């Protein structure tokens, strides 16, 4: 196996507190990393680096672990430009817009859906994302949900069954029958292709009892829960997530003090999705409140054609710092190690011996520039599983 030494890194975020400055970012200056095949073999000061087969000079740039985008909806067709335009003229966002994408997705061929996934993944990779989770949820029939998951599973291990995204128009008169379908035949067809099960627990989507029934059925089939919780209004989603030991409660925009306490005490990560608040002109989630209470926070894109059509983790970092009370260090941790926690993974989101060789070099001297220089394409080079996948012109 070929070994590669990446040296002359001015500032390296390792997310390993045993390294460097003793903060959660484990920041090393004048650092080097050795990659061996798909794994990291060595991390430390550049002047102590072992020899390797190949050497890459980072020329004094900063490096970070590849972003872990733990929440996206990439298996879809069509777009919702008109809905976005109307919203920017004052129309409020509602869960019902999902139906537009459901119609387009059902009408699309497998090839069209696959091409879309590939396109948005390449876009995300160019911006430093080396791991992503993605969901079904725009099919809402047994056939269409299962095919969405099969397509997603060709691109990532982190696949989520979201048959309970909304009650589709064909079941509008009988939501209970739809819950029965999701927990029965649809779950049987989908479980083999997924690791996670998710529910949109919200007014206009699924209430707490329905969400509990769906997630419990998923657990019985070996899927682990994560929940779209407390996005558009206060509600039972966060408490349910903690009660069921969901890996993550996602959105967390409207939280009571009891919700914040539950997240601080349980193992459920609070995943914040600022692209959604940006694109729906909604109130920001209060990351500071969660962090000060001791909750673990992840940042993700929620990339989807309705509420957050961005694949950019750097954009989400900039929003989180500007509008959600996070420091740049906290935001970068949440977009890397936080995402890994939300997926219950220890091999990604960290630059440590034995971890997956996923990292991004920034055309900047420090990770802080991701928030300091918003909208600037700072991701220069990306290694994913030890292979150099992105090389920007300099």
**Interacting residues with Fe ion (CB under 5 A):** 302
Q: Which of residues 264-293 bind ligand NIG (CB under 6 A)?
A: 276
Contact 136, 162 (CB under 8 A): yes
Are 22 and 10 a contacting pair, CB within 8 Å?
Answer: no
For ligand NIG, give the closer residue by CB, 66 or 305. Answer: 305
Q: Are strands 269-272 and 248-251 parallel, antiparallel or unpaired?
A: parallel
Q: How far is the CB of 15 from ligand NIG (least distance, A)?
A: 26
Question: Of 142 and 308, which CB lies nearer to ligand NIG in the complex structure?
Answer: 308
- Say how far apart CA 295 and CA 346 lie, in whole Å: 18
Under 8 Å between Cβ of 149 and 113: no
Structure tokens at 29: 């200056």
User: Least Å distance between CB 251 and Fe ion?
Assistant: 7
Q: Name the DSSP class of 160.
A: E
Q: Is 200 in the site for ligand NIG (CB under 6 A)?
A: yes
For ligand NIG, give the closer residue by CB, 42 or 278: 278
Binding status of residue 310 toward ligand NIG by CB under 6 A: no
Q: Whole-angstrom Cα distance, residue 207 to residue 323?
A: 29
Task: Tell me the H-state helices in 47-201.
Answer: 81-88, 98-107, 110-126, 142-153, 175-183, 185-190
Strand, coil or helix: what is 163?
A: strand
Nearest to ligand NIG of 302, 381 (CB atom) = 302
Decide whether 74 or 348 has the Cβ nearer to Fe ion: 74
Tokens in use for 77?
A: 């067709």
Q: Which does 7 bind (CB under 5 to 8 A by kind): ligand NIG, Fe ion, none?
A: none
Q: Examine residue 338 and tell whether it contacts ligand NIG (CB under 6 A).
A: no
Only one of the segments 95-103, 111-119, 145-153, 207-215 lies at the binding site for ligand NIG (rule: CB under 6 A); that segment is 95-103
The reply on whether position 97 binds ligand NIG by CB under 6 A is yes
Closest to ligand NIG by CB, 130 vs 279, is 279
Closest-CB residue for ligand NIG? 306
Closest CB 294 distance from Fe ion, rounded Å: 25
| DSSP classification of residue 31 | E
Q: Rounded to the nearest whole angstrom, what is the least distance from the CB of residue 134 to ligand NIG in the complex?
A: 12
Query: Both tokens of residue 283?
Result: 């109130």
Give 206 or 383: the residue with its C-beta nearer to ligand NIG: 206
Spatial separation of the C-alpha atoms in residues 113 and 351, rounded to whole Å: 33
User: Would you put residue 20 in left (φ > 0), alpha (ψ -120 to 50) or beta?
Assistant: left
Examine residue 70 and tell whether it contacts ligand NIG (CB under 6 A): no
Closer to ligand NIG by Cβ: residue 161 or 200: 200
What is the 8-class DSSP label of residue 127?
A: T
Contacts of ligand NIG in 106-145 (CB under 6 A): none
Please choose, out of 12-20, 28-36, 303-311, 330-338, the segment that lies near ligand NIG by the rule CB under 6 A. Answer: 303-311
Element (H, E) at 106: helix 98-107
Residue from 306, 328, 338, 386 touching ligand NIG (CB under 6 A): that is 306
Cβ-proximal residues to 193 (8 Å cutoff; 6+ apart), any chain: 146, 149, 150, 152, 153, 159, 161
Q: Contact residues for ligand NIG (CB under 6 A)?
A: 97-98, 101, 200, 228, 231, 276, 302, 304, 306-308
């Amino acid at each position: 196996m070929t070994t590669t030494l990446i040296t002359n890194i001015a500032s390296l975020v390792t997310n390993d507190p045993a390294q460097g400055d003793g903060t959660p970012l484990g920041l090393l200056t004048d650092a080097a990393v050795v990659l061996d095949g798909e794994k990291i073999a060595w991390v430390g000061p550049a002047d102590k680096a072992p020899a390797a087969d190949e050497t890459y000079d980072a020329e004094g740039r900063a490096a970070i672990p590849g972003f872990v985008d733990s929440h996206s909806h990439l298996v879809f067709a069509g777009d919702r430009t008109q809905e976005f335009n109307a919203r920017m003229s004052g129309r409020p966002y509602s869960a019902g817009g999902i139906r537009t994408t459901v119609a387009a997705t059902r009408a699309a061929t497998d090839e069209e859906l696959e091409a879309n996934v590939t396109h948005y993944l390449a876009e995300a990779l160019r911006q430093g994302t080396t791991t992503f989770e993605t969901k079904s949820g725009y099919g809402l029939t047994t056939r269409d949900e299962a095919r969405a998951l099969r397509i997603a599973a060709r691109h990532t291990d982190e696949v989520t069954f979201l048959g309970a995204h909304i009650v589709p128009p064909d079941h509008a008169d009988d939501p209970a029958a739809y819950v029965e379908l999701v927990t029965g035949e649809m779950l049987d067809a989908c479980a083999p292709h997924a690791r996670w099960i998710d529910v949109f627990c919200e007014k206009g989507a699924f209430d707490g009892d329905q969400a509990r029934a769906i997630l419990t059925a998923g657990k019985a089939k070996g899927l682990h829960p994560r929940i779209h919780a407390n996005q558009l209004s206060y509600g039972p989603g966060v408490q349910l997530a903690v009660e069921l030991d969901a890996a993550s409660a996602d959105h967390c925009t409207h939280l009571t003090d009891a919700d914040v306490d539950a997240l601080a005490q349980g193992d459920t990560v609070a995943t914040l999705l600022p692209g959604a608040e940006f694109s729906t002109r909604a109130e920001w989630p209060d990351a500071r409140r969660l962090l000060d209470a001791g909750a673990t926070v992840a940042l993700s894109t929620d990339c989807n054609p309705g509420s957050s059509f961005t694949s950019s983790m750097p954009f989400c970092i900039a929003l989180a710092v500007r509008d959600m009370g996070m420091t740049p260090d906290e935001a970068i941790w949440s977009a890397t190690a936080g995402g890994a926690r939300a997926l219950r993974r220890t091999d990604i989101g960290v630059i440590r011996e034995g971890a997956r060789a996923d990292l991004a070099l920034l055309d900047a001297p420090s990770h802080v520039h991701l928030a300091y220089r918003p909208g600037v394409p700072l991701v220069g080079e990306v290694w994913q599983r030890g292979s150099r996948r992105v090389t920007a012109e300099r």
